C-alpha cells in the first residue's frame, strides 16, 4: 500500500535568516547553520542521482537557480 501523504504536493521553500538557512516543507520549518545546509544538499544530490539511475533515467539534465533581484540595467 502506498502512503498517500507521500504523493500529495507540499509547499517547499528555502531561505535565509541571518547566518541560518531555513527549509520549509508544508507547515514545518527547520533552521540550520549554512554548513549543515551544504552537507544536506550534498546528501540529497548523491541519493537523488542514485534514485535516478535505479529508475533507469540516464539523461543529463542540469538545472540552475539564480537570484535576480539585485540585477540592474
The per-residue pLDDT for range 11-40, each reduced to its tens digit, is 889 999 999 999 999 999 999 999 999 999
Q: Are 41 and 28 in contact (CB under 8 A)?
A: no
Question: pTM for the complete prediction?
Answer: 0.63
More confident residue, 55 or 16: 16
Q: Exposed, middle or buried: residue 36 (CB in 10 Å: 0-12, 13-18, 19+)?
A: middle
Residue 72 CA to its chain's centroid (Å): 28
**Among candidate residues 67, 49, 66, the one with its CA nearest the CA of residue 58:** 49
Q: What is the mean pLDDT of residues 60-68?
A: 63
Q: In the structure grid, which three cell numbers stand for residue 20, read together?
A: 541560518
d(CA 41, CA 49): 12
Of 4-18, 34-48, 53-67, the one with minimum mean pLDDT is 53-67
Amino acid at each position: 500500500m502506498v502512503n498517500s501523504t507521500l504523493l500529495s504536493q507540499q509547499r517547499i521553500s528555502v531561505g535565509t535568516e541571518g547566518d541560518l538557512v531555513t527549509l520549509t516543507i508544508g507547515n514545518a520549518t527547520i533552521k540550520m547553520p549554512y554548513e549543515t545546509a551544504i552537507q544536506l544538499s550534498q546528501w540529497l544530490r548523491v541519493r537523488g542521482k542514485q534514485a535516478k539511475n535505479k529508475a533507469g533515467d540516464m539523461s543529463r539534465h542540469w538545472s540552475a537557480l539564480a537570484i535576480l533581484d539585485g540585477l540592474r540595467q
